[in-house]
Chain A
Amino acid sequence: MTIRPNFASLAAIATLAVSGAGVASAQSTLEIVKERGHLRCQVGSPSPGYYMLDTEGNWYGLDVSVCQAVAAAIFGDPTKLEIQSVSTQSRFTALANGESDMLSRTATWTLTRDSQLGIDFLTPNFYDGQGFTVRKDSGITNAMQLKGAKVCVTTGTTTELNLTDFSRANDLGISAVTFEDFNVRDDTYVNGGCDAVTGDKSSMAGNMAAFPVPADHMILPVTLSKEPLAPAVRHGDNQWSDIVRWSVFALINAEELGITQGNVEDMRANSKDPNVLRMLGAESNLNEGLDLEKDWAYNIIKAVGNYGEIYEKYMGDGEQGLGIAREGSLNALWTNGGLMYSPPMR
C-alpha cells in the first residue's frame, strides 16, 4: 500500500516529461529564443580568427560576429547572446538536442554532415582550403617539388586524409609527421623538424604571422581541398534557418550596397537607392516572412558592420586581425572575383 504514492508520483513525472517534450517541439526555435530572452550560439574552443577570448574574457572573431548579427536581428541587441563553447566531439549533438540554437564555428559543410546528422548548413561565411607553408630558402615554389618531403600536419581532421590523398594522387611519397596541437606542429616546422606544414590556408596565414621571422616563409598557391565554413541549425525549422541564413546574407548585401556600421543611419534616412531602403526597413516589408522587427537588418549592420568590415577586423589588417589578404581570395565579393554573393533582398 505504501508503494502506490511512489508509482503515482513517478507516473506524474513521466507525464510531465512527455508533455514538456511535446510543448518544446511544438514551439518554433524563434519563439523559444524570444521567450528565453537571449540566443544560444555555439562556438568551439578558441580558434584564431573565428572565435577567440581576449584578456577580459570576452569572445571576439568572425564567427562570433555572426552570432551577434543573429542576436541583433532578433532582439535589436547583440549582447542578448550566450556564446557556448562546446568540444568538437559533442558539437552536433549539442545542436541536435536543443542545447544550442545555432552553430557558428569552423565546421566544413559536407554532404554527409548535411544529410545524416539532422542539421542544416546555411550560407558559408568563410571559404577556406588546405595548402602548404614552406621556407622561402628551401627553393620550393610548387607543391610537386615536395617529393619525399616531411610534412607537419595535425591529426583528427580531414587535413591528414587530404594530404595522403594528394600525395598518392601525385605519387609524391610525402611522409606525414602528425601533431595534436597546431602550436607544436608550427614549432616543429620552425625549428626544422619538417620541410612543410599543411593546414587550412587562412589559419596558416594567421599562424605564420606569429612565426619569429614571418618573411622567411610562404604559402604555396596549390589548394588541396574545399572547406566552406558555414553556420548550421537544426533540421526541420525552416523559419529559423531563414533567419540565420538571411542574417549572413544581410552582412554580404550591406557590403555590396556600401552600407557600413558608420553610415547605416545616414543611409536609412537619406539614401535614394530603393535596395538600401528596402533592406534597412524604410520601405516595403521584408521582415514579414521572417517574423522579425522591421529594422532587423538595420540592427545587424548597426551592431557588427557589414561582411567586409568584419573580415578586416578579425581576418584582415584590423587591430585584432590575422592579416590575411582578402583581395583575390574566395572571400572577396563576387564583384571582385570572390564567392561572397547575396541573393537580392526584395
Chain B
Amino acid sequence: MAIVKAVNTPARAAPISETSLVGWLRKNLFSSAINTVLTLFMAFIVYLIVSGVVVWGYLDATFVAENRRECFDNSLTGACWAGVIDWFDNIFYGRYPREEIWRINFGGLLLALWMAPLWITRVHGKILVGASVVALYPFLAGYLFSGGDKGLFVQVMVAGAILAFVINMANVVAGLVRNQSLDRLVIDLLGQANAPDKTQRNILLGLLAAGFAAAFLWQASWTVVGVSWTKWGGLFLTLVISGIGIASSLPGGIALALGRRSKLPVIRVLSTGFIEVFRSVPLITVLFMATTMFPLFMPEGFVLNKLVQVIIAVVLFNACYMAETVRAGLQAIPKGQFEGAHTIGLGYWGTMGLIIMPQALKHMIPNIVGSFIGLLKNSTLVSIIGLFDILLMLRSISRDVPWLGLHKEPLIFGAILFFIICFAMSKYSRHLEVTLSAGNKH
C-alpha cells in the first residue's frame, strides 16, 4: 500500500542560522576556534589602521592654517591638509595665470558636453560624434588653452570645431525630442523628405557651408591671451599628456599591429622594428632621449617645445604597447572569420574593418583599458624631466617656505585623486564589457 500525499509539503523557511546576521557570523567568521582567533586578530589590526588613519587624517588634522607652524601649534601628530588646500590652484592648473583658469574649466566642460551624447541611447550618429571628438576637439581645446594669435589653419580648425560642437548639441536635442538624427530632422522640417537623395544632400551641404562661414566669421571676432606651455601644469598637464596619449595610441596601435601582420615585407619589417625598439626601452629613457639628446643634434640656440617632444614620445611609446595588445586580439579571431569575409567578397579593409576588428576590439577591452590606466600613471614620469605635472606640483609643496617639509599629505592627496580617476576608468571598462558582450555569453 502506497502512502500518497495529495498536496505538496509547503516549503519551510530557511533555518535561522542561514538568514540571520548571527548565523552568517558563526558560519563565516567564528566557525572554529582557530577562525575565531584569526577573526579577532584581524579585527584588531583593522581597528588599529582605521583608527590611526581617522585620528591622523581627520580628528587631529588641521584644515585651515597660514603655514605649517600653525599646523604644528594645532597638533603635532595630525595631518596638515591646509597646505594642500592652499595649493589647490597649483595642483589642478599648475602655473596657469589665475585669471585665465576659466579657459581650462571651459575646455573640460566642452569635452564633457561633446562626449555626453555617446552615452545617451536615443542620440543618433554616435560614430560621427566620436570621430569629431578625436579630430576636431583637440584644435579648439588646444587654441583655448594656449591662446595667442590664430594662424589661418588654426582659424579653420577652430571654426570647424565650433560648428561640429553646435551640430553635435543640436543632434542631441533632435535625438532626445524626436528620436531622429539631425539631418533627417532638418530635411523633414524643410518638407523635403520625399525629394531625391541628391537634392537632400545638396541642401545639407549648403547648410553646412553656411554654418561654417558663420562660425569662421564669429571665431575671427575674438582671441584669447597667449599662455606659454611652460605655465601648464598640475592635473591639467597630466590629463593633457595622457589624454592625447590615450586618444592617439589606439589608432596608432591598430595601424602598427596591422602593419606587423601585413604581407608586404617593407611595412612588416618597419612596423616590427619600430615596435621592438620602442618596447625594449623604458619610457623614462625615451623621455630623456627626446628632451636631452635630441636637442644636441639640432643647431645651436634651437629650442623645441619640450611639451610637444614629451607628448610625441608618450604617444609613440604607448602605440607600441597598444600594437601588441591589438595583435593579440587579432590572433584570437578564428581563421574561419577571415575566410567567411573573403567568401562574401570583402577585400582587406572590408574584412578588417567590418568583420575582424569589431570582434577583436571587444576581446581586448580589459587590456586596452589596462594600458590606458598604465599610461595615465606613467605620465607622472615627466616630472623627472622637469615638467610640472601633478606629481612635481605635489612634491613642490614641501619646498614652499610656508609649507616646508610638508610631503606626506600632498602625496596621499595625489594617491586619492589617481585612485578616483583610475577606478572610474576600470569600472567603466567593466560596464563596457558587459554591454558589448550581452549577446554572446559563453
Contact = CB atoms under 8 A, between A and B. Distances in A.
Interface of A: 17-18, 20-21, 24-25, 27, 32, 40, 44-49, 52-58, 82, 84-87, 89-90, 93-94, 97-99, 181, 183-184, 186-187, 206-207, 209-213, 320-322
Contacts of A97: 295-296, 298, 300, 302
A89 B90 contact: no
B384 interface: yes
B278 interface: no
A189 B304 CA distance: 42
Interface string B382-401: 01111010001001101111
Contact of B90 (A47, A53, A211): A53
A49 B298 CA distance: 35
B40 interface: no
B300 A25 contact: yes
B126 interface: no
A34 B23 CA distance: 82
Contacts of A321: 401
Interface in B381-425: 383-386, 388, 392, 395-396, 398-401, 404-408
Contacts of A210: 68-69, 404-406
B404 A21 contact: no
B299 A184 contact: no
B291 interface: yes
Contact of A52 (B96, B303, B401, B406): B401
A54 B400 contact: yes
Contacts of A209: 404
Contacts of A87: 384-386
Contacts, number: 116
A32 B301 contact: yes
Contact of B404 (A44, A187, A206): A206
A99 B405 contact: no
Contact of B399 (A20, A24, A40, A48): A48
B338 to A, nearest CB: 36
Given A46-B400, A183-B405, A57 B302 contact: no
Given A46-B396, A53-B90, A55-B89, A207 B385 contact: no
Given A52-B401, A54-B400, A55-B400, A20 B299 contact: yes
B150 interface: no
Count chain A CB atoms within 10 A of each CB in B72, B76, B303, B385 and give the residue with the most: B303
Interface of B: 68-69, 72, 76, 86-87, 89-90, 94-96, 98, 228, 230-231, 233, 288, 291-292, 295-296, 298-303, 383-386, 388, 392, 395-396, 398-401, 404-408
Contacts of A322: 401, 404
A128 B383 CA distance: 27
A57 B90 contact: yes
Given A90-B292, A98-B302, A57 B230 contact: no
B68 to A, nearest CB: 6
B94 A183 contact: no
B292 A93 contact: yes
B404 A53 contact: no
Contacts of A320: 401
30 contacts: A18-B299, A20-B302, A24-B302, A25-B300, A25-B301, A32-B301, A46-B396, A46-B400, A47-B399, A52-B399, A53-B95, A53-B400, A55-B89, A55-B400, A57-B89, A57-B96, A57-B231, A57-B233, A85-B388, A90-B386, A93-B292, A97-B298, A97-B300, A98-B301, A183-B407, A206-B404, A207-B404, A207-B405, A213-B76, A320-B401
A48 B231 CA distance: 20
Contacts of B396: 45-46, 52-53
Count chain B CB atoms within 10 A of each CB in A18, A32, A98 and give the residue with the most: A98
A320 B404 CA distance: 11
Contacts of A45: 383, 386, 392, 395-396
Contacts of A58: 95
A89 B383 CA distance: 12
A273 B330 CA distance: 85
Contacts of A187: 407-408
Contacts of B230: 82, 84
Given A98-B302, A181-B395, 5 more contacts: A21-B299, A53-B95, A93-B292, A212-B76, A321-B401
Contacts of B395: 45-46, 181
B299 A17 contact: yes
A206 B86 CA distance: 21
A99 B404 contact: no
A40 to B, nearest CB: 8
A184 B231 contact: no
Nearest to A83: B230
Given A89-B288, A206-B404, A24 B68 contact: no
Nearest to A17: B299
Contacts of B98: 56-57
Nearest to A32: B301
A94 to B, nearest CB: 8
A298 B253 CA distance: 59
Count chain A CB atoms within 10 A of each CB in B90, B296, B388, B405 and give the residue with the most: B405
Nearest to B97: A57
Contacts of B94: 57
Contact of B288 (A24, A90, A181, A184): A90
